[in-house]
């Protein structure tokens, strides 16, 4: 596969050009205006940050991208899907409220927020991807309804996947609650059997949950692992069984990312700043592991993640940051030794999502 172009610029500014103007110039230089945006719906896929976390991207960056989309004739909206875990983004009402609290309003960003998988995380589309691990990816409906996808990613570390980059933003972030369960789990749901309200029975199409004496049990012979019960449980008594080494998670995530972008125009932006060791899904953030690196843009999500990770690994490390193995040459393996972020890009290249080979073009 031929090398893909990845465009890069630092956060250095001048009196004539601020950060937002420089980002806009980067996107145009990288060719974002080659896409026909005229009167087309444009999903700007990003992460609004869990309340309590302060490492997420500022709303100003979302506004820069939304303003440029409007200038090019498109109709932008910010979007993300609901989470599986307990927190401030488990349903659309809480999710939008959390986004507002973190500064993402129509007045600060210039466009509206649509939670892609609906009120309870159940509004999704089965997208055929015919991957090695995933045949039909469960993607948030509003994300699939868009004509064009722009990913705006905060590049950072991640305790399960190694990095939280463009593939994760598209794949895990684009998956509905059922999709997230499929990516995270390599088995049937685990259940706190001391609780049994019946919500799961109403949603299950396979009669897997049973309740006796207000105690719930899931028949694993009937369960197909769709994750709908996790989404509707009001007591958070059901959870997925996680992949212990992250390999399957990363591979499934790449296949989900392919489901999001295949068959329509897409463009990808990654800002390597405030590079925390963990995901912005945490309700807290630790000190950055390295200094701010810069802003990246590409049509290729695989090349973009590869370039970001490699450039981050070349940066000096923050002596006050948390490292599990500071001797590792790979920054993100040093942060979380059990992870192998290359699974994402290697599998992404294998399935045709993009190329690990890239040409870095600095502006």
Among residues 241, 116, 130, 122, the alpha carbon closest in space to that of 170 is found at: 116
CA distance 353 to 261: 9
10 Å Cβ neighbour count for 239? 19
CA distance 251 to 231: 23
Among residues 113, 118, 119, 85, the alpha carbon closest in space to that of 101 is found at: 113
Phi/psi at 45 (5° precision): -85, 120
Q: Are strands 162-164 and 41-45 parallel, antiparallel or unpaired?
A: unpaired
pTM of the predicted structure, to 2 decimals: 0.88
10 Å Cβ neighbour count for 307? 26
Quickly tell me which residue has 């932006």 as its tokens: 269
pLDDT along the chain (363 residues), means of 10: 93 98 98 98 98 97 98 98 88 98 97 97 96 96 98 96 97 95 77 80 82 82 70 76 75 98 98 97 95 98 98 96 93 94 98 98 97
Phi/psi at 178 (5° precision): -65, -40
Q: Are 149 and 45 in contact (CB under 8 A)?
A: yes
Longest dimension (CA), the chain: 71
Helices (H), 53-210: 59-71, 92-101, 106-109, 141-145, 166-174, 177-184, 199-203
pLDDT given at position 185: 73
CA distance 114 to 106: 11
Tokens, residue 246: 């992250």
Q: What would the pLDDT profile of 5-14 be if each residue is shown by its tens digit?
A: 999 999 999 9
Phi/psi at 113 (5° precision): -105, 135
pLDDT given at position 239: 74
Among residues 299, 348, 306, 350, the alpha carbon closest in space to that of 5 is found at: 299
Give 156's strand partners: 164
CA distance 283 to 86: 11
pLDDT given at position 63: 98
Tokens, residue 219: 């028949």
Q: How many residues in the chain?
A: 363
Q: Are strands 112-115 and 162-164 parallel, antiparallel or unpaired?
A: unpaired
10 Å Cβ neighbour count for 298? 29
Q: Are 55 and 274 in contact (CB under 8 A)?
A: yes
Burial 85-107, CB ≥16 within 10 A → b, else e: eebbbbbbebbbebbeebbbeee
């Amino acid at each position: 596969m031929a090398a893909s172009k990845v465009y890069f610029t630092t956060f250095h500014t001048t009196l004539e050009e601020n950060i937002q103007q420089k980002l806009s110039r980067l996107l145009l230089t990288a060719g974002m205006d080659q896409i026909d945006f005229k009167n087309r719906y444009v999903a700007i896929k990003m992460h609004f940050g869990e309340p309590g976390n302060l490492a997420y991207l500022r709303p100003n960056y979302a506004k820069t991208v939304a303003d440029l989309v409007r200038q090019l004739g498109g109709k932008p909206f910010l979007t993300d899907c609901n989470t599986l875990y307990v927190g401030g983004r488990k349903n659309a009402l809480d999710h939008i409220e959390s986004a507002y609290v973190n500064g993402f309003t129509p007045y600060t960003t210039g466009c509206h927020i649509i939670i892609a998988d609906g009120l309870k995380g159940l509004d999704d589309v089965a997208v055929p991807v015919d991957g090695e691990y995933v045949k039909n990816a469960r993607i948030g409906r509003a994300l699939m309804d868009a004509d064009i996808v722009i990913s705006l990613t905060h590049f950072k570390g991640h305790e399960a996947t190694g990095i939280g980059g463009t593939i994760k933003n598209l794949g895990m972030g684009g998956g509905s609650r059922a999709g997230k369960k499929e990516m995270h789990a390599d088995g049937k749901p685990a259940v706190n059997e001391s609780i049994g309200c019946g919500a799961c029975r109403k949603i299950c199409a396979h009669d897997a949950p049973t309740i006796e004496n207000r105690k719930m049990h899931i028949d694993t012979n009937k369960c197909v692992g769709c994750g709908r019960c996790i989404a509707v449980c009001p007591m958070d008594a059901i959870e997925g069984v996680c992949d212990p080494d992250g390999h399957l998670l990363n591979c499934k995530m790449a296949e989900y990312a392919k489901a999001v972008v295949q068959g329509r125009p897409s463009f990808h932006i990654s800002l390597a700043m405030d590079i925390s060791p963990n995901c912005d899904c945490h309700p807290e953030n630790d000190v950055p592991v390295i200094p701010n690196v810069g802003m990246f843009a590409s049509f290729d999500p695989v090349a973009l993640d590869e370039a970001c990770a490699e450039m981050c690994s070349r940066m000096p490390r923050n002596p006050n940051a948390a490292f599990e193995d500071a001797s590792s040459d790979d920054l993100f393996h040093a942060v979380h030794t059990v992870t192998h972020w290359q699974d994402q890009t290697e599998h992404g290249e294998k399935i045709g999502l993009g190329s690990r080979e890239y040409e870095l073009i600095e502006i």
